[in-house]
Amino acid sequence: MPYQSINPTNLETLEEFPSLSKKEATGKIDAAHEAFQSWRTTDYETRKGIVNEFSNQLKERESEYAEMITLEMGKPISQAKEEIGFCAKIAKFYAEGAETFLADSTVETGDSGEAYLRYDPIGVLMGVMPWNFPFYQVVRFAIPNIMAGNAILVRHASCVPRCAQAIEKLFHEVGLPSGVYNNLFIPTEFVETIIDDSRIQGVSLTGSERAGRSVAAAAGRNLRRSVMELGGNDAFIVLEDADLEKTVEKAVQGRLTNNGQSCVAAKRFIVHSSLYEDFTAGMKEAFANLKVGDPMNSDTELGPLSTEGAAKDLHRKIQTAVRQGAEVVTGGGRPDRPGAFVEPTILTGITSENDIFDEELFGPVACIYRFEDEDQAIELANNSSYGLGGSVYTSDIESGRRVAEKVDTGMLFINQPTNSSEELPFGGIKNSGYGRELSQLGILEFVNKKLIHTLEEFEQS
C-alpha cells in the first residue's frame, strides 16, 4: 500500500510518499545499529536535554502538529491538541525519570556477597505503529526506549505519512544523533524482513489482532522480545446505584472520543435492568444532538473515520449485525455528505451468535446489553476474547472495586472511562496483547536486566 496523505473529511489527496526499497530499508538498520554503539553510552544528562527539548517543541508547536493530525486522520482539532499535549507530558516524564527508573537495584541474597540488577539497553528496536493516535503511539514507544539508550526504527501507518515524517524531523531538530530514530516508509511485506535482521533486538506493535499475530510470530521465530498492544472490546458496566446522568455523559465520552477509533474506547455497555431503558434513551438523545462535521472546526464533536475504507468496513459490519438480529436504536447508516462519515449508531438485542458480540467495532457504534445481577454483569464482561481496558460505574466504591477485581482485563477504571496517563501502566491480556507501556514498567520492557553478584573472597568448598 502506498503512503498517501488523504483528508478523510473530503477525501482529497494531500500528498504521496514513495516507499523505501529493501536496500534503502537495510541502510536504515545499518544507521540505527551504528548509532546505537555510541548512544548506549551517552550520559543521562545529554539524553535528558534532548528529550526535554523535544517536549518543549511539542508544546510550542501544538497547533501545527494538531492540524497535521486532523487533516490526515480526522480527529477533532481539540482532541488533536490534547494528543500533542499528552506527548509533551510523556517526553517530560521519561526525561526527568529515566535515570531513577533505570538505577541499579539491590537484590537480597542468602550468602555473604552482594547482588544487584543493572538495566542496560539491548540495541535496535522495531516499532509498528497505527494511525489513530499518530503522535502519541510513536512517542509512547520511542521516548522511553531512547532514554534507555536504544535505537529506534518506526514503520508508521500508511495513511499518516506527514505525521510520521514530522516526528523524525523534530527528533533531528532537537539534536538527537542521526540514526537513533529512523522513520521507515516501507510496505507491509518488508516488516518481517526487518525483524529477521539479526541486529533487531525487540519489536513493539500497536494495531489489530491480525497484525499482532503476524508480527509476534516473526518476533518469536527470531527470538526477539516483543510488546503487543492490540484491539479491545471494553466493557462499560453500569451498576444499579450509578448516577444515571453522569454515567450517560461518561458513556458518550468513552465511546466517541477520537470518533470512536480507540482501542480502549468503551464498546460494550453492560447496564443493570433497572437503568437500561433510561440509559439507552439518554445515549440516543446524546447521539442525536452531536455536532457532526469538519473536525477542523473547534465545535465539532464527531468527525469522519480515518479513511473511506474504514467507513465502508464499519458500515458493512453494522449491516451484517442487523441481519443477524441486532436492533438499531439510532443511526446505522452513512450521512449524505462527502467524506468518511458514519452515523453515530446504537445497537441492542445482540446475542452471542451475532458476529459483533466478540468483534471490535472501530468507530461511533455503541452496543448496549442488559443484566440482572452482578454475577451476570461480570460473566458478560468476561465473555470476550479481548482484555484491554474497561470501567465500572457505581455510587458504592467498594462495589466498584469488587466488580473491577473480577473482570479479566489489563486495566479497569471506576467512574471514569478507560484513559491513559504517563504514570499509569498501559496494556492488556488475552487477544489484546501483552507487555506494558507508560509508567516505569514501560521503560523496562526493552532493557537487559543484568544480574551482577559479587563475593568479597572465595568461599570455602
Which amino acids are annotated catalytic?
229, 263
Which residue spans within 215-262 are E strands per DSSP? 225-229, 234-238
Name 343's Cβ contacts closer than 8 Å, sequence gap at least 6. 330, 331, 332, 333, 334, 335, 364
Dist. CA 390–CA 410, nearest whole Å: 9
Cell of 227: 510488546
Q: Angle at Cα 87 formed by Cα 94 and Cα 237, nearest 5°?
A: 100
DSSP 59: H
The one-letter amino acid at 396: D
Of 326, 262, 255, 322, the closest CA to residue 287 belongs to 255
Dist. CA 26–CA 433, nearest whole Å: 28
The one-letter amino acid at 175: G
Dist. CA 428–CA 223, nearest whole Å: 22
Q: Compute the half-sphere exposure of residue 451: CA atoms within 13 Å on the CB side of its CA.
A: 7
The one-letter amino acid at 161: P
